[in-house]
């Protein structure tokens, strides 16, 4: 094992001792006095506060604490109510905008659908003039069957020899 090699063991041990001693001196000289001062300040602060408060002082402190808590609860309720009202107003605005947009889109869709139906009816009327033999066997008109019907009628007209 290289850790127990006699050539490298003593230099490693020497540098370990040097760094450990440096760490120890830094800890003792810098950090421990700061910790000691912090503990001394805490202990002094704890000793200066009276531990035996009178009942009047306790009641006054309890009343002040209760007042602070009730004020903070009221303020929190007020802020939540305001936030709820603001959110409700924003939601109403968004709902109105969405409904307006949806209504406009639906109106456009309906007008295009009516125009398409009128175009299909107009085309069928003109098909009777171009293809007079198709009036009896016309299927019920819907959007998917119309294109198929027109293509079949055109192919029949083109493929059947004229008399």
Give the count of domains, the chain.
1
Query: Does residue 42 sit within a domain?
Result: yes
CB 138 within 8 A of CB 152: no
Query: Does residue 20 sit within a domain?
Result: yes
Query: Does residue 162 sit within a domain?
Result: no
Query: Does residue 138 sit within a domain?
Result: no
- For residues 162 and 80, what is the distance between their CA atoms, to the nearest angstrom? 84
Q: Residue 18: its pLDDT value, please?
A: 97
Query: Does residue 21 sit within a domain?
Result: yes
Q: Residue 140: its pLDDT value, please?
A: 57
Query: Does residue 12 sit within a domain?
Result: yes
Query: Does residue 44 sit within a domain?
Result: yes
Three-state SS letters, 16-66: HHHHHHHHHHHHHHHHHHHHHHHHHHHHHHHHHCCCCCCHHHHHHHHHHHH
Could you state, in chain order, the average pLDDT of each consecutive group of 10 residues for the chain (163 residues)?
72 92 94 92 78 74 91 93 93 89 85 87 80 60 68 73 58
Q: Which domain covers residue 31, as residue numbers? A: 7-48
């Amino acid at each position: 094992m290289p850790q127990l090699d006699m050539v490298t063991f003593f230099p490693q041990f020497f540098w370990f001792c040097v760094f450990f001693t440096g760490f120890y001196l830094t800890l003792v000289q810098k950090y421990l006095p700061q910790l000691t001062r912090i503990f001394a300040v805490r202990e002094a602060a704890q000793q200066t506060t009276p531990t035996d408060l009178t009942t009047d002082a306790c009641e006054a402190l309890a009343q002040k604490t209760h007042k602070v808590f009730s004020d903070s609860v009221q303020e929190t309720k007020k802020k939540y109510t305001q936030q709820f009202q603001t959110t409700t107003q924003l939601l109403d605005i968004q709902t109105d905008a969405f409904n307006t947009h949806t209504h406009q889109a639906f109106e456009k869709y309906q007008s295009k659908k009516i125009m398409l139906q009128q175009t299909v009816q107009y085309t069928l009327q003109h098909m009777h003039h171009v293809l007079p033999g198709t009036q009896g066997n016309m299927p019920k008109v819907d959007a998917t069957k119309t294109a198929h019907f027109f293509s079949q009628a055109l192919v029949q007209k083109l493929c059947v020899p004229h008399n």
